[in-house]
Amino acid sequence: MSRSVLFIVDSLCSLDDSLQLRLLVAELARAGDRDVHVAITDPACGTGNTLAGVEVKTHYLMHAAASQSAASDGRKLSTMFVAARNLKHLLDHVRPDVVHTWGLVAQRCMGVTQLISKSANSSLRWFSTIISRPEKSGFLAGQADRRFCRQIEKVFVPHQVLRESMLETGFTEGQITELPNSAATLSGRPSAREKLLARIGLTGESVVVAGTAGHLVPVTRRKDLIWATDLLNCIRADFHLVLFGRGHQRENLERFASFTEAASHVHFLPPAEAESLLGGLDVYWHSHLQHPLPSALLCAMASAVPVISVYGPGTEEIILHQQTGFAVNYGARDEFARWTKFLIEKPDAARQLAEQGRSHVLKKFPAAEMVAEYQSAISKGQ
């Protein structure tokens, strides 16, 4: 068996889903003591430049048509088996000593692969990372998840708040390891700002743009942000909102926006563009608590973008109210508008807040520390 690691991830497009993975992959590849492979179940957005500069072998487990079908049908069992069959062939070819699944979809894909394999490889070490609270699943899926959990050596979670969810899923206390997310600086503001305005068809220095990155699903409460945008448009005709992401709620969000005065001020962009454009925002909005220590929020702060975020498990370690950002109550739409108005009217205070937020997250969540802890964890037992 070769000394190699195979990461399995659903997508490399989303900051929350894949940024931490890409940081780990890059460092492991630069270290040079392992062959690093990345298998992607959803090739819809490709890898772009996300793995540029390191030698990483990338594989796709489904073709584009199949991935689009999976996105529309909620990951039917048939599409999972297609990905699992292709993963089996990949495992036979690469023969890694470590497999690391990233997210619940990837974990299930690996589990199904183990089920359809004629003989399981007892020497294969399987690690998993779960970055958000798992959605409720049916009885059969839940039973399958419990079976898969027994085969995993260790599951990494970014925050202790996910421990209870992991125990309910079927992991034991001894399997769960907390590995906090890290903050990474994105593209510089001048270039990102120019690209962002051009991308949404705007010009002028007076334009104010808020943004957020993540899945377009009800739990992320994007309607709250559209509602806040409508409020702000009453006092600022040049205020705009950019939603980076995709998901089944997009049509509903577009329809909701069309019923407001902010219809032409709400822009939907693919998640893959967030990394290069997020640094050009005037303010970053975070409206949900699905992801503890959300990567997109950390990166916005590390890039000196002032932030307004709901306050709760995970974000309470990032947002020190009126020091590193503004904390708002969950579901409080008007508070996003209120504090954004404050930032617009007091640019010096906005700059100070952004710098304090940047200093805080870079000191508290360094990427080097996260990578070192991970390498130590997977090295044990070898």
Per-position b or e across 249-277, b if 16+ CB within 10 A of its CB = bbeebeebbeeeebbebbbbbebbbbbbb
Q: What is the pLDDT of residue 55?
A: 72
The pLDDT confidence band at residue 50, using thresholds 50, 70 and 90, is: low
CB-based contact 5:96 (threshold 8 Å): yes
3-state SS assignment for residue 212: strand
Mean pLDDT estimate for the chain: 87
Predicted confidence (pLDDT) at residue 167 exceeds the cutoff of 70? yes
The pLDDT confidence band at residue 313, using thresholds 50, 70 and 90, is: confident
Backbone angles phi, psi at 101, to 5 degrees: -90, 140
Label residue 52 exposed, middle or buried (CB < 10 Å: 0-12, 13-18, 19+).
exposed
In this structure, of 42-46, 309-313, 316-320, 322-326, the range with the lowest mean pLDDT score is 42-46
CB-based contact 212:296 (threshold 8 Å): yes
Render 96-140 in DSSP notation, one character per residue.
-SEEEEESHHHHHHHHHHHHHSSS--TT-EEEEE--SPPPP--HH
Sign of the torsion angle spanned by Cα atoms 53, 57, 368, 109: positive
Count of other CB atoms within 10 angstroms of residue 369: 13
Q: What is the pLDDT of residues 58-99, one digit of tens each?
A: 898 876 434 444 443 444 556 778 889 999 999 999 999 899
User: Tokens 């068996």 — which residue?
Assistant: 1
Instruction: Please give the Cα distance from 286 to 336 (Å, whole number).
Output: 9
State which of 16-20, 239-243, 261-265 shows the largest mean pLDDT.
239-243
Instruction: Please give the Cα distance from 223 to 270 (Å, whole number).
Output: 18
Q: Which two tokens stand for residue 235?
A: 């006092």
Instruction: Please give the Cα distance from 116 to 84 (Å, whole number).
Output: 8
Q: What is the pLDDT of residue 48?
A: 46
User: Tokens 């498990």 — which residue?
Assistant: 313
Q: Which two tokens stand for residue 69?
A: 């079908």
Higher-confidence residue of 119 and 107: namely 107
CB-based contact 240:209 (threshold 8 Å): yes
Predicted confidence (pLDDT) at residue 248 exceeds the cutoff of 80? yes
Predicted confidence (pLDDT) at residue 287 exceeds the cutoff of 70? yes
H or E segment to which residue 156 belongs: strand 154-157
Q: What is the pLDDT of residue 125?
A: 92
CATH of 189-364, one of 3.30.70.3170, 1.20.1440.130, 3.30.70.3340, 3.40.50.2000: 3.40.50.2000
Q: What is the pLDDT of residue 1?
A: 45
Q: What is the pLDDT of residue 43?
A: 65
**Average of per-residue pLDDT across 212-217:** 92
Cross-strand partners of 46: none
Q: What is the pLDDT of residues 22-49, one digit of tens each?
A: 888 888 888 777 789 999 987 665 554 4
Predicted confidence (pLDDT) at residue 143 exceeds the cutoff of 90? no
H or E segment to which residue 220 belongs: none
Nearest to 227 by CA among 266, 200, 278: 266
Instruction: Please give the Cα distance from 305 to 296 (Å, whole number).
Output: 11
Q: What residues have CB less than 8 Å from 27, skipping those under 6 apart?
A: 371, 375
User: Tokens 């916005």 — which residue?
Assistant: 300
Q: Which two tokens stand for residue 1?
A: 């068996």
**Average of per-residue pLDDT across 218-245:** 95
**Average of per-residue pLDDT across 322-346:** 95
Q: What is the pLDDT of residue 73?
A: 41
Predicted confidence (pLDDT) at residue 213 exceeds the cutoff of 70? yes
Q: What is the pLDDT of residue 222?
A: 96
Strand duo 176-178 + 208-213: pairing:
unpaired
Q: What is the pLDDT of residue 240?
A: 97
Q: What is the pLDDT of residues 349-362, one digit of tens each?
A: 999 999 999 999 99
- Domain 4-182+366-379: CATH class, spelled out: alpha beta
Inter-helix orientation angle 333-345/347-364, to 10°: 110
Residues of the chain with CATH 3.40.50.2000: 4-182+366-379, 189-364
Q: Which two tokens stand for residue 109?
A: 């894909």
Predicted confidence (pLDDT) at residue 369 exceeds the cutoff of 90? no
